[in-house]
Amino acid sequence: MSANIGHSGESAVKLAAVTPSDSVNFSNGPCRALWVGTGGNVAVLAAQDSAAVVIANVPDGARLDIAALRVDATNTTASNIVAWW
């Protein structure tokens, strides 16, 4: 189940480079999507979850439409991740 963040099809109004952390949530609240520049695994704590879930083998240049609170450092191998609000 996905959470509705913003309006579907609406352009992002804020972007931030993601520094994966196992404890620090995004200061702007849940993002609407994540852009993965360099592929790999992404460990995501979604807005309504209590533990991160690893999304394996995300390809380069993928957009993940996930309302994420943070990207965990543990188990994340992807890089150049950008959060969209």
**What would the mean pLDDT of 29-38 be, rounded to a whole number?**
98
Whether residue 4 is predicted with pLDDT greater than 80 in this model: the reply is no
Q: Where are the beta strands (DSSP E) in 1-85?
A: 15-17, 33-38, 40-46, 53-58, 62-64, 68-72, 79-84
The model carries a pTM of 0.88
Are the C-beta atoms of residues 41 and 75 closer than 8 Å to each other? yes
Whether residue 1 is predicted with pLDDT greater than 50 in this model: the reply is no
Whether residue 3 is predicted with pLDDT greater than 50 in this model: the reply is no
For position 8, what pLDDT does the model report? 57
For position 38, what pLDDT does the model report? 99
**What would the mean pLDDT of 43-63 be, rounded to a whole number?**
98
Domain ranges of the chain: 15-84
